[in-house]
Chain A
Amino acid sequence: EVQLVESGGGLVQPGGSLRLSCAASGYTFSNYWMSWVRQAPGKGLEWVANIKEDGNEKYYIDSVKGRFTISRDNAKNLLYVQMNSLRAEDTAVYYCTRDGSGTSNNWGQGTPVTVSS
């Protein structure tokens, strides 16, 4: 069974940094693209970034380019997103997803990030 468990969320001040992790199990992690998708409180879903199986291709939504970095460690079955220069509008639940053909086929439970002073 595919399991994705996010961690690392919390309260951070504007301009601060946070690194989220996602531990994957139940499948061969290195065979799949992975994504981060977020959901602001009471709002819809927003795709944030994704990364190819070998880590050599990455894509980002414009609003996080230059501030967020997605990465992965295939030896440890871990997905990361390093979030710098955080803004209030980054406040959301962040989901890790295992991708299919451009779709988010499996989702973690999410980790909440609050950017506030």
Chain B
Amino acid sequence: DIQMTQSPSTLSASVGDRVAITCRASENINIWLAWYQQKPGKAPKFLISRASNLESGVPSRFSGSGSGTEFTLTISSLQPDDFATYYCQQHKSYPRTFGQGTKVEIK
């Protein structure tokens, strides 16, 4: 199975900050990487596919980059609605595997 590792596990930031979350795959997954956002008690929300394709309706302050084994989710200017947990997922092969999550909390 492909292992996905996110860093950091927790990120403390302020409104307006630029934040970046890293996701590393245990093997080459090309661009087959997705990002999700989850708020407490809610279902996850799909943000990005194929490493950098923003889902319709997702604010442009979110962006994804990377290929191969290293990927980044960047929020250019953190908004109050962005405090949540973020997960990466590889969609290259089965079983689909998620990273352990990165919690973005208020500093």
By a beta-carbon cutoff of 8 Å, the part of chain A in contact with chain B is: 35, 37, 44-47, 50, 59-62, 95, 100-110
What is the minimal beta-carbon distance from A12 to any residue of chain B, in angstroms? Answer: 22
B34 interface residue per 8 A CB criterion: yes
Interface of B (DSSP majority class): loop
B46 near A45 with CB under 8 A, answer no
A45 near B95 with CB under 8 A, answer no
Tell which of B49, B89, B95, B101 touches A61, judged by Cβ atoms closer than 8 Å. Answer: B95
Tell me the bound Cα distance from A56 to B62 in angstroms: 37
B55 near A105 with CB under 8 A, answer yes
A100 near B49 with CB under 8 A, answer yes
Q: How many of B's residues come within 8 Å of A, CB to CB? A: 24
By a beta-carbon cutoff of 8 Å, the part of chain B in contact with chain A is: 1, 32, 34, 36, 38, 43-46, 49-50, 55, 87, 89, 91-92, 94-101
If A106-B46, A108-B43, A110-B43 touch, whether A101 touches B95 (CB-CB below 8 Å) is: no
Which B residues touch A95, using CB under 8 A?
Answer: 43-44
Which A residues touch B50, using CB under 8 A?
Answer: 101
B36 near A45 with CB under 8 A, answer yes
If A102-B91, A103-B49, A105-B55 touch, whether A47 touches B97 (CB-CB below 8 Å) is: yes
Which A residues touch B97, using CB under 8 A?
Answer: 47
30 contacts between A and B (CB under 8 A): A45-B36, A45-B89, A46-B98, A47-B96, A47-B97, A47-B98, A59-B94, A59-B95, A60-B95, A95-B43, A95-B44, A100-B46, A101-B50, A102-B32, A102-B34, A102-B91, A102-B92, A102-B96, A103-B46, A103-B49, A103-B91, A104-B34, A104-B44, A105-B46, A105-B49, A105-B55, A106-B46, A107-B44, A107-B45, A108-B43
